Chain A
Amino acid sequence: MSNITKAALRGVTYYNPFKAYDGYTLFDAPDLGPILIDIEGNIVHIWYGPHSLTRLQSPHWRLLPNGLLSGWLHRDFTSSDRGFEPEGGHIGFFPERSAFDGAGDNVIVEIDWDGSIAWQVRVPYQTHDFFPLDIAPSDEWSQKGKGHYLYPAYHPDGIFPDSLAKKWQGGVPGTEYNGKLWGDIICEVDRDGKVVWEWKTRDHLDPVLDAFPPLDMRANFHSNAIFPCHDGTILWSGRVLCQIHKVAYPSGGVVGRYGKGQLFHQHDSKELPNGNILTLDNGSHRSNFYGPEYSRSVEIDPKTGKVVWEYTADPPSNFYTSVGAGSDRLPNGNTLISDYYNGRFFEVTREKELVWEYSIPMWRQRFGGTTNMVYRVHRYSKNHPAFKGKDLDPARWKWENLVYGPPAWKNREFKPCIF
């Protein structure tokens, strides 16, 4: 037991019913798999499947309009009894986990309401994120690429030739992976598992404009998000580059770079309905700065490249997640943020007022320790087509709610332990 103040309060620790966006929150609960909770923290559905002892744990789950739940599964190298064994066995993985986090012999799945796998596709070397084109913001994407998926990968096909790697500036010299700069690629895969489009960083990035920051490893650009935009381009976030790139599709040229000098190891960049870019600026290696480290949720106007809205905690050091995390803009203008490294979600208004906070009560063994970290979270309106006709009564999950729901943590007063 180490930090009581960070572990003692569980569940919904703050809720303003007048300002929070009422809906169902979807996330990957450690040890339970994908679950749906209501705004008060009651578990209303868990996607238990036939894999009853081995939960399907994906860092990121998304609900599709047809009611299926899609996510990406990978073998967790630090705990061998979790994860997913793909057909045909593993094809290899990266032991140097820090640079190639998440990548491996991965699979994208679509599971139905009772947890059985309805469809799966093998996506070797995929990492960090995936985007089902069915939920893309424009009809052009979702019709042309019906059922297709976009995903970033650290693929051996994208390895930089030595002559190009030598030109690439920055980073810590000598930290290439086995002497090679791997770079990243984005793939589009169809329903049959065939890769129908590829984008390689070695073909389109610039050795000077996209140089490595001073302290990063020269192994890859650490893709962590892709998002198809209204105008048919793709937003790509490579955390190491500390910028967000806009990539033309399908030609692949880089048509925009945002956030240089403003973003530091950012995660989860996406396009909002108003055309602005929302991202989470983690703040790791924030340059020229001695104060306590802090993270912020940032909205950038791509036309000017300027930050038009940002959320920092009060004081700023109260919200700092060095890696991971994500933010979502909700229909009422609030922003839902997952504070990855600290194991909590919270929702803030445009005026930076906290209106909902959830300290994740489920824990599991990960990263060589015990954590309640959850990578991404989404909140869906109660009218989402996936919930039509479904039973969302928390009483179905009586045991889980007794352990992880309001009966376990609500109205509990903290008393110091003195003995």
Chain B
Amino acid sequence: MSVAFTSIKGLTFYDTRRAFNGFTLITPVEGNGVWLIDMYGRVVHQWELSRQPAWQAELLSNGHLLCHARVEDNPLGLLEGAGGALLELDWNGNKVWEHKDPYLHHGFFRMENGNTLVIKWTEVPEEIARKVKTEGTDSISLGRGAKRKGSMWGDAIQEITPEGKVVWEWIGHEYLDPEVDVTCPVCPPDEWTHATSVAEMPDGSIMASFMESNLIVIIDKGSGDIKWRFGRKILRHQHFATVLDNGNLLVFDNDRHAFVPRSDSRILELDPNVANPTLERMYLRYGAQSNAIAWVYPPEERLIPGHFFSSTLASCQRLPNGNTLICEGIWGRVFETNPRGELIWEFVNNLPSYETSPTKSQACMLYSAFRYGMKYSGLKRDNTLPVKRQATPGTLAKEKAIDVSAKRLKALGY
């Protein structure tokens, strides 16, 4: 329990003129719901999944929700980020499409042509796995850490059609270099790269972000070769990367397992046109610098050490008015900031989660948050849809949640 950091919830700050007004889609860690909230933190719509969301959810322009859900009896269920099923639900929660594959994990990307890019675990052949180096010194020779129990898992990216047919595949261990694209000696030894995000660039190449290797690559779709590499010794276990309209990348650099242990996350905008990214100011605080970094949040003049940090769950999104929406997942905090780093809107998740661990629901952790503007075609305006729950700004929601008894909520303190 930490009163100072967890008591203030709901909407805390809102600059109505400078915010990108619209609705925010949030995916809580616990429970089966994906919520759509308005700028005052009130729930205006929700989807109830039959399974817990595994990572991110996206509202498509036709009003469907596309998300990645967990599957029971997943052989890889113990690995972090495991999912197993991509679900597309219509506005009312009916399943319209599903793609099941127990090796799916973390993020996905719905392309313009209707296909979907997905991330899968693949077994790395033993002769390559043996050659994979770690950053710093490897733990096994130091007599610390755990030995790998079975195979080493690498990542593959597939492009699948709505029928489930694989039309393009890229297998990581065929193109990554085990000596250059190192893994992390502190993380569990079962994985090499631990991809979390994939996206299509404006020119058709594919961007992939590998957390454990601190690596972002841009892949030429035709040949599969890596056109651009960034991140070793600069990124610190980034958990989310996305592509902007101008071709730049927006990355949530978490600050985990860095050379200088601190807790200062940052959002980086990277310019992939910089052919050979430099590496400057290493081993100092706040992460290394590079000439490929076009924008950083927080700017140094607004830095409060320790105030912006999420060791795992994270997402970031560039909004049409130039602001950036950031989800500091472990604190359940979503905020919007302008290019100068000023706070424009801030919301701390105050919606009770459904079940299991009451301790996690205390923190109301979020996997991701995305904002959709007032005119977004995916938002269905239906006057018959009631507002499911009202929460006055700054207080906890008082109504009964679906599928949770009043007794349970009372026990949680609502």
Which residues of A approach B to under 8 Å, CB–CB? 1-9, 13-14, 96-99, 169-173, 175, 208, 211-217, 260-261, 265, 282, 284-293, 313-315, 317-323, 341-344, 346, 354, 357, 359, 367-371, 373, 414-419
Contact = CB atoms under 8 A, between A and B. Distances in A.
**Considering the complex of A and B, which 5 residue pairs feature the smallest CB-CB distances, nearest first?**
A284-B261, A214-B185, A369-B303, A290-B80, A359-B4
Interface in B19-69: none
A318 B5 contact: yes
Given A4-B13, A6-B307, A414-B394, A171 B262 contact: no
Contacts of A208: 143
B234 to A, nearest CB: 14
A175 B283 contact: yes
Contacts of B346: 4-5
Interface stretch (B88-96, B132-140, B166-174, B404-412): B132-140
Nearest to B256: A293
Nearest to B313: A292
Contacts of A288: 145-146, 186-189
A210 B67 CA distance: 47
B187 A416 contact: no
B284 A315 contact: no
21 contacts: A2-B341, A4-B8, A4-B346, A5-B6, A5-B8, A5-B331, A6-B307, A9-B8, A98-B283, A98-B284, A288-B146, A291-B312, A293-B263, A314-B359, A314-B362, A315-B363, A321-B306, A322-B263, A357-B2, A359-B4, A369-B305
Nearest to B138: A214
A188 to B, nearest CB: 30
B261 A265 contact: yes
A182 to B, nearest CB: 15
B307 A416 contact: no
Nearest to B358: A314
A100 B7 CA distance: 37
Given A97-B284, A315-B359, A342-B306, A215 B135 contact: yes
Interface string B186-202: 11110000000000000
A341 B306 contact: yes
Interface of B: 1-16, 80, 134-139, 141-146, 185-189, 256-263, 283-286, 298, 300, 302-313, 330-331, 333, 337, 341-343, 346, 348, 357, 359-360, 362-363, 365, 393-394
A409 B384 CA distance: 45
A400 B183 CA distance: 52
Interface of A is mostly: loop
Contact of B311 (A320, A343, A417): A320
Contacts of B259: 172, 175, 215-217
A99 B282 CA distance: 12
A13 B6 CA distance: 11
B3 A318 contact: no
A415 B240 CA distance: 32
A98 B285 contact: yes
A285 B186 contact: yes
Given A215-B257, A315-B363, A415 B394 contact: yes
A373 B304 CA distance: 10
Given A172-B136, A289-B188, A370-B304, A313 B286 contact: no
A2 B300 CA distance: 12
A320 B311 CA distance: 10
B11 A290 contact: no
Given A98-B284, A322-B261, A417-B12, A214 B134 contact: yes
B22 to A, nearest CB: 16
A287 B330 contact: no
Given A313-B1, A317-B363, A170 B142 contact: yes
B382 to A, nearest CB: 27
B304 A371 contact: yes
Contacts of B348: 5
Contacts of B14: 416-419
